[in-house]
Chains A and B, each alone.
Chain A
Amino acid sequence: MGQPYLRLAAAALILAAFVLGTAAFLVWFERKLLGRMQVRPGPNRVGPGGLLQPVADILKLTVKEDILPEHADRPLFRLAPLMAFVPAFAAFVVLPFGPGLVSADLNIGLLWILAVSTVSVLALIAAGWASNSKYALLGGMRAAAQMISYEVPLVLSLIGVVLAAGSLRLGRIVAAQAHLWFAVPQVLGFIVYLIAATAESNRSPFDLPEGESELVAGFHTEYSGVRFAFFFLAEYSYVFLAAAIATLAFLGGWSGPFLPPVVWFLVKTYAVIFFIIWLRATLPRIRIDQLLSFGWKVLLPLSLVNIFLVGLFRFI
């Protein structure tokens, strides 16, 4: 009787710790890597190699004064960080870290991640609108326009994988790649996914919503303290999720020789994250017209071609 409840509580606690730990670690990982790529040390004061820097940051943000700007829409301003963080957090529940190592093995696991992450788009618009600030409003609108434009190619590139695996269950998608990673036959879909996922998580070179040089800080211009921290945590959770889906759907998930499956999963995911950070260090920001026309005129047709090819090869 007590056993399933115990497993439930344990899984929830472990996963919660993992999500928060990962988000904090990614902040350090990104700052350190960017530092190295720009020939500077990066964070190196707090803890060994600056590893405790994010912990210090989170502590600092927690004890900061909570500022509600004048004329802001108070209930909405308070709700928006939650609307951003809760879906990002909830998406992790379906991630399989290894064979059987998954909290909720839903039939439609992949769709779950995609569905809850659309709620975050609403959070960005809400934050931008509630702040009563032109920079926040513009940033929120840009973020939303960008996310919806890249959502379509992102989903279409994953449809190719679903087609080949015949299931939306993430475990089955990994199992279907036992002989050949989907990144090989569906290289087009993989490229479209990587670009669209980078844009979807509002990362450079697609970081227009937060373009510091024009929009101050975009939708979270007016946010400070803990509320800002939750936007930040949500953003890094999505980076991890984007890389984890790339691993599960295209790079064979946890499969690999010698090492235990969990290690393989994390190694592949962090390799993808490294690539995304590398992009940020290399490429300049693009303009909004370039961004939108690239999404609709290049990525969307390419992802349709990918689906067509995958479907066609099923018959040959």
Chain B
Amino acid sequence: MPYFLGYTYVAVFLLFGILIPVGALLANRLLAPRHPDPEKLQAYECGLATPSDNTLPYNVRYYIFALLFVVFDVETIFLYPWAVAFNRLGLFAFVEMIVFIGILVVGLVYAWKKRLLEWL
């Protein structure tokens, strides 16, 4: 399949993907009742009145996993071209990639030993 034809299909399909929910939302606007009242509009809480600012501080651990993810996501990006070209590259590329992954595994082990992967 020619390069641009493939992406034309993708573009048309994306357009469909946007039109379906927009259509459904329009249908909802036409068909659904609309009776707002202050109680109904409150955010969910177990029977108590909801405070106007209903967010709360959460664990900083999520942030650490996001940081780790960025590092490993970049690593996987490098693995794709390697995997596709592998058959033509031979032993040399294999060794190179082992070195590349090895360096990152050192980092992972380090983070592990520093108890970064624990949830406290």
Contacts and interface: CB of A to CB of B under 8 A. Distances in A.
Are A and B genuine complex partners? yes
Contacts of B105: 301, 304
B110 to A, nearest CB: 13
A186 to B, nearest CB: 13
B69 A151 contact: yes
A285 to B, nearest CB: 15
Given A230-B24, A300-B108, A71 B86 contact: no
B48 to A, nearest CB: 12
Given A71-B52, A230-B24, A288-B119, A106 B31 contact: no
B21 A134 contact: no
Interface string B76-98: 10011001101100010010011
A177 interface: no
Interface string B18-40: 10110011011101111110101
Nearest to A154: B76
Interface in B1-25: 1, 3, 5-10, 12-14, 16-18, 20-21, 24-25
Contacts of B80: 111, 159, 162, 168
Contacts of B20: 16, 20, 85, 89
Nearest to A152: B72
B43 interface: yes
Given A89-B20, A104-B1, A152-B73, A62 B31 contact: yes
Contact of A69 (B1, B33, B41): B41
A81 B21 contact: yes
B21 A222 contact: no
A63 B28 contact: yes
A149 B29 contact: no
Interface in A269-316: 288-289, 292-293, 296-297, 300-301, 304, 307-308, 311-312, 314-315
A24 to B, nearest CB: 13
B84 A65 contact: no
Interface stretch (A38-46, A136-144, A259-267): A136-144
Contacts of B94: 311-312, 314-315
B99 interface: no
| Interface SS of chain B | helix
B45 to A, nearest CB: 8
B85 to A, nearest CB: 8
Interface residues of A, number: 83
A296 B69 CA distance: 10
B56 interface: yes
B106 to A, nearest CB: 12
B4 to A, nearest CB: 11
Given A71-B52, A104-B6, A152-B73, A168 B86 contact: no
Q: Which 8 A-B pairs have the closest CB atoms?
A: A289-B119, A104-B9, A89-B17, A148-B69, A162-B83, A133-B43, A163-B83, A86-B17
24 contacts: A8-B9, A9-B12, A12-B12, A65-B35, A66-B28, A66-B32, A71-B43, A89-B20, A103-B9, A104-B7, A104-B9, A135-B44, A136-B43, A137-B56, A145-B66, A152-B76, A156-B76, A162-B83, A222-B43, A226-B27, A226-B28, A296-B65, A307-B101, A308-B101
Interface of A: 4, 8-9, 11-12, 15-16, 20, 62-72, 81-82, 85-87, 89-90, 92-94, 103-107, 111-112, 131-138, 141-142, 144-145, 148-149, 151-152, 155-156, 159, 162-163, 166-168, 216, 221-222, 225-227, 229-230, 288-289, 292-293, 296-297, 300-301, 304, 307-308, 311-312, 314-315
